[in-house]
Structures are given as C-alpha cells and as structure tokens.
Amino acid sequence: MTDIDIDIDTERIRQDFTILESGIIYMDTAATSLTPEPVLDAVLDYYRRYNANVGRGVHRLTRIATAEYEEARNKVAKFIGARAHEIVFTRNTTEGINMVASGLSMHKGDKVVISLLEHHSNLLPWLRAKRKFGMDIDIEVVKPANGDRKSCELDISDFEAAIDADTRIVAVSHVSNALGSILPIRAISKLCHANDALLLVDGAQSVPHLPVDVKELGCDFMAFSGHKMLAPTGIGALYIREELMPEIEPLNVGGGGVETASFVDYKLKGANEGFESGTPDISGAIGLGAAVDYLNAIGMENVKRKEEKLTKELIEGLQEIPGVELYGYDYDASSNKRIGTVSFNIDGKNPDDVALMLDNKAGIIVRSGHHCCMPLMNYLGIEGTVRASLYLYNTESEVNRLLELVRTIAASGR
C-alpha cells in the first residue's frame, strides 16, 4: 500500500528528525515526541549567540535573551488562544497541575471532581491537597455508568451526576494518555459554569495533536508539556485565566518573581511574573516557541486529519487480529472521540514482552505498562497495555509493519 495522501509532506518532515535515520519506527510520542532540527537549532542558537539570564540586567545579551524568551511566551499563548500574560512557563504538565492544586484555596465541604482516566499527575496533587486541607475536602471520581468496560467511555451524563454546588474544581484530561480517548471538555465546562466551579484541563495529550483554544473550551486552567509537542524536555506551560491569577498562591517564591522584598515582608509581581521565580529554562522556552512555529507551519488541522487516517488503519487492523484486545473507543470518523494513541494486549503475552519483541524484531518503539494510570488499569482488570502512539512523522507503511509483527506475535501462541 502507498502512504496516505494528505496535506503533509511526511517524507520531507521526516528529514528533520535525525533519529529516524537509524531505521527505528517511533510510536511512543504519548510519552515523548521526537525533536526536529529547527527546534534543536533554536535551542543551540541561544547558547551560541546570546546565552544570558532573562530580566536580570541591561546589557545586550540579556536584552536579546529576554526578548526571545517573551516572544516564545507570545507564540505559546497564541497557539492555545490565550494572552501572553496568562501563560506561566513550567517544567511540565505535572508542575502546572501542582501549581493549581497547591495554590488554590479550598474550604470545608469543597469537592474536587476528577475522572477515571486521569494520569497520576492529575490525581496525586489533589490527594495531597486533601491532606493539606483535611479530610473535609472530597474527591469524586467520575466513572462510566453505562457501556462496555473496556471502552471506558465517559458521557456528559456521568459528569452531570458529579458536578454540583459543592464542586470547587473539576480537573480532567482533555485526552487520556493511556487510551487516546477525547473527553467532552466544552460540555463539562458548561456544567462547571452552571455550578460556579472551576475547570482545570490536562492538555498534555491534546495540545500536541488537536487545534486547542482555551477560550472556546471555557477552561480556567490548562497545563501541558513541551516534550510531547516537539520541544525539549523540562519545559511546559500553565494557562491561568487572568482573573484567577490573584487567587493562586505560587508554588515557589524568590528571585525575579518579587516586586519588593525586605526582612519583614515581600510583594510578588503581578500576572505570570509572580509565578516564575528563579532562573527559568530559557533555552527550553525558546525551543517550545520554535516547536510551535514548526506545528503552525504544518497546521494543526492537518496534524489532526493525518492522525485520524493513521489511527483508522491501526485500529481496524488490530481488530482483525485474533487474540488482540483493544481498550478505549473504537475508531469512528464522525465521533471525534480519539487521537492516535492506541492501547492493546495480546492474549497470553505480557505487555513488556510484546514491546521488547516489537523493538528487537523491527525497531518498533512502543510503550508498555500502566502508563501512570494505575487506577484505570485496576478498573480494566489488567496490569498494563501495549501502547502505540502516532504523530506527524509516522507513515502508513509503519502502521502496516506494526500490524504485521503483532499478527505474527499473536499467532505464536502463549
């Protein structure tokens, strides 16, 4: 079969990812995406030409570094439909969620609503908040009331039963990192607004793969990571709706985040500046800005449509293989309920063994295990899955190669 004809020059794009020259088939983007040469160039350009701290002086290098750093913020903000001063640079999604969970005041009787599909990073911070504020804070987990257990499909009616006047905040993934399922964020947002509840969205798996607009979604907070969207590791962003910034206590204080300081008291800077104490990951932020440029040049609608076609090939192919069990939503072109992250198991095979066989036999790189979603795996009654996650550099021939190997492994018996 020939590769899918779409508005993305995949072969041209693949030339930007030197690691692919080794012959590997990379399908572990849900854990970390590959990094293209233009992004690496932007990072190295900082170190080679204007390596200096930001906002710390008046000399030429710091002026250049500060301008590039803030331009990166502008790019990231525009990419998700936010304003620049609503973007706080973080290390990753985990840190962004912790900023909100640790900094948001809560009171006796308040409730936090999360879903069954959450990554540990959108579970543990709320459990810690419960410890901090005492046992009077409730955490309610939304689980599917109906439907096939393996699909774990969450309907808006499941959230209607959980979100009420006691709800302080709803914290949910836009897309499940384990299953690739897309949650109905807009509908959840309407429920939150009707009940005066806040909405935090874990955008780690959606921002790299879908067109995202925080204003259209109606969320109050969104956290996401650069390393899942072609940027370096160690850089991420947290969107905080402007009106809510004074309500969130920064996770860290010190350094440049302060407006005045004495031996008696201090006053933090306003907006995003008060959340970014200390020297930030300057090169990482610049790299994230370059990654945004790269994705914008391709077009997020094109990224989405390409993934949809590859996902259809992968899911339909896996469904035809005896002994393969799929988790999450089936592919449905009209439903817009998933991205190209696909979890499956082979009857009688340990997920880690399958992942190793795929690597050893064909250089196919996939993830195996519980994917930092132990409660979800317990609900499914399994210890883990094999997870193949696709992105803009994958091809139909690679999907076919994966299917060929899975078919061989499944036919080999226990």
Contact between residue 55 and residue 285 where contact means Cβ atoms under 8 Å apart: no
Out of 192, 219, 372, 373, the active site residue is 372
At 391, list the tokens.
Answer: 């992105």
* Pairing mode, strands 236-240 and 258-261: unpaired
**Crossing angle for the helix pair 300-319 and 282-298, nearest 10 degrees?**
80
Distance between CA atoms of 367 and 360, rounded to whole angstroms?
14
Tokens of 31: 């854990």
> How many whole angstroms separate alpha carbon 366 and alpha carbon 185?
28
Sheet order of strands, 87-90 included? 87-90, 236-240, 221-225, 198-202, 167-173, 111-115, 138-142
- Decide the pairing of beta strands 198-202 and 221-225: parallel
> Is 372 known to be catalytic?
yes
DSSP assigned state of 234: T
- Cβ neighbours of 288 (radius 10 Å): 31
DSSP string, 278-344: S---HHHHHHHHHHHHHHHHH-HHHHHHHHHHHHHHHHHHHHTSTTEEEESPPP-TTT--B-SEEEE
Q: Is 146 helix (H, G, I), strand (E, B) or coil?
A: coil
Active site residues: 372
